Amino acid sequence: MPSLFCASWPFVRLWRNVCADPLPVRGAHLLSADSPVPPVSEPRAPDAGRMQVPPGNPLLLSLTLQELLARDAVQVELVPEKKGLFLKHVEYEVSSQRFKSCVYRRYNDFVVFHETLLHKFPYRMVPALPPKRMLGADREFIEARRRALKRFINLVARHPPFSEDGVLKLFLSFSGPDVQNKLRESAQRVGDEFMNCKLAARAKDFLPADIQTQFAMSRELIRNIYNSFHKLRDRAERMVSRAIDNAADLLIFGKELSALGSDTTPLPSWASLNSSTWGSLKQALKGLSVEFALLADKAAQQGKQEENDVVEKLNLFLDLLQSYKDLCERHEKGVLHRHQRALHTYSLMKRQVVSAAAQSREPESVEQLESRIVEQESVIQTMELRNYYSLYCLHQETQLVHAYLPLTSHILGAFVNSQVQGHKEMSKVWNDLQPKLRCLFVGPHGAPAPPRPPQDGPSAH
């Protein structure tokens, strides 16, 4: 039997590779590992120049919050009448300033749009959709979902890569009845962002040397910011709830005073000496419901304003931070899972080659193993490229989050202004109400007297 080492030259090369260290793979991607990859330049040894930011680095974003907000302002309003003959569904009127469009969308249209974004942009912050309730969707749930859909579409419309993609324009401007099919077709015609980005194969060249450390630090920072803003949002919601409850209490308080002043129960004869006092009191109480209704209206307006300008902006920022957390999780789980699986497969193949060589198997079977290992090396190379591109996108998405951070000053400014304006308006109503109460306190000679605080015990003589 001829020696196994006299086999063809490719097997000799393979045998040498078996004894070599495994490929320096650091990551994987979210899509199929055998997806085609962009053309790859010849590998080169790392040098000091590669670690520095190249001139005109496309990794860097130079967008301000004002520029992001100016990209588009999308309104999502509930259509009053539910659609459908048997199974009624809610429909939304979606209007875009940028595209000067107004279309009607169902919740399921948003779902397909969301899936399309995840397919085309797996390495970007795709905000989550609000949950779907199959039965028993009350008015409060529908309104909360409308607000969440509005936040979702505005974050998408202002996201730099999303805003330049045709799928956004399709969703915001296509008025045909089959928008879901159109969205699916647009996703099937092209691959994901990695396949269509000219810089995808060179993403590693633009990343800093300590990208893994920066990723870990950014993730921890965003987690801390999210936790703090989550608590702020909860407290802001409580304050809004208290303002609305205060409005309801003021309104009821005024109605009870008015009911007391409108009481028609006859005055008993033994109280006739004080008949004028009771009549004057009723006359004064009857008109107080107007002022208390105005106070209730001011409190409700303040609560509504803080819900729109404070709570909703906090929710918008929280949605963005949550999408960043989700992106980090997709990156980490995808990288670790697929990377470990690919390396495990690669290791098993190497062991099979060693076993085949030791057992002096036929050259054909060894060549098949060689072919499989070459394919696996291609898979790992694809994972490597996608991992660097994922980190490239994460670097940009981190900058985008920080571009939204000045929204904090907008939120605080809206909160302070609402409190100042609300207290000022309510103070004016209270001051206008005070003179009207003087007629309720009549002195011994018929002159108005200020009310005195009740005494805890008997007066001292």
Residue 366 has pLDDT above 50, yes or no: yes
Lowest mean pLDDT among 24-38, 137-151, 160-174, 184-198: 24-38
197: closest CA among 159, 171, 172, 165? Answer: 165
Domain count, the chain: 2
Is 179 within the bounds of a domain? yes
337-348, pLDDT tens digit by residue? 665 666 667 667
Average pLDDT (65-88) is: 83
The boundaries of the domain holding residue 175 are 65-196
Residue 139 has pLDDT above 50, yes or no: yes
Query: How is 89-109 classified by DSSP, letter by letter?
Result: B-EEEEEETTTTEEEEEEHHH
The pLDDT assigned to 2 comes to 37
Is 49 within the bounds of a domain? no
Contacts of 192 (CB under 8 A, 6+ apart): 31, 119, 120, 121, 122
Is 56 within the bounds of a domain? no
26-66, pLDDT tens digit by residue? 333 334 434 444 444 433 333 333 334 445 678 888 899 99
- CA dist 322 to 178, 229, 230, 316, 334, Å? 31, 11, 10, 10, 18
Together in a domain, 242 and 192: no
Is 38 within the bounds of a domain? no
Identify the CATH number of the domain in which residue 413 sits.
1.20.1270.60
Burial of residue 81, with CB atoms counted within 10 A of its CB: 0-12 exposed, 13-18 middle, 19 or more buried: exposed
The pLDDT assigned to 29 comes to 37
Cβ contact 130:148 at 8 Å: yes
Of 196, 218, 253, which residue constitutes the final position of a domain? Answer: 196
Average pLDDT (394-422) is: 95
Together in a domain, 90 and 168: yes
The pLDDT assigned to 375 comes to 73
Residue 458 has pLDDT above 90, yes or no: no
Distance between CA 181 and CA 371 in Å, rounded?
Answer: 40
Is 348 within the bounds of a domain? yes
Query: How is 108-128 classified by DSSP, letter by letter?
Result: HHHHHHHHHHHHH-TTS--PP
Together in a domain, 337 and 405: yes
Strand partners, 77: 93
Residue 378 has pLDDT above 80, yes or no: no
Residue 251 has pLDDT above 70, yes or no: yes
Together in a domain, 169 and 255: no
Together in a domain, 323 and 374: yes
Average pLDDT (179-195) is: 88
Residue 98 has pLDDT above 50, yes or no: yes
The pLDDT assigned to 6 comes to 34
Is 268 within the bounds of a domain? no
The pLDDT assigned to 223 comes to 97
Together in a domain, 292 and 413: yes
The pLDDT assigned to 134 comes to 62
Together in a domain, 242 and 174: no
Together in a domain, 297 and 399: yes
Is 255 within the bounds of a domain? yes
Residue 201 has pLDDT above 60, yes or no: yes
Distance between CA 322 and CA 317 in Å, rounded?
Answer: 9
**353: number of CA atoms within 13 Å, CB side?**
26
347: closest CA among 318, 377, 324? Answer: 377
pLDDT band (50, 70, 90) for residue 272: low
Together in a domain, 292 and 167: no
Together in a domain, 175 and 251: no
Identify the CATH number of the domain in which residue 172 sits.
3.30.1520.10
165-185, pLDDT tens digit by residue? 999 999 999 998 899 999 999
Query: What is the pTM for the complete model shown?
Result: 0.77
**119: number of CA atoms within 13 Å, CB side?**
16
Average pLDDT (308-325) is: 97
- Amino acid identity of residue 183, one-letter, is L
Helix (H, G, I), strand (E, B) or coil at 54: coil
Higher pLDDT, 177 or 278: 177
Contacts of 227 (CB under 8 A, 6+ apart): none
281-312, pLDDT tens digit by residue? 787 787 788 889 999 999 999 999 999 999 99
Average pLDDT, the chain: 80
Cβ contact 32:119 at 8 Å: no
Together in a domain, 131 and 243: no
Higher pLDDT, 53 or 326: 326
Average pLDDT (196-219) is: 91
The pLDDT assigned to 265 comes to 82
The pLDDT assigned to 268 comes to 73
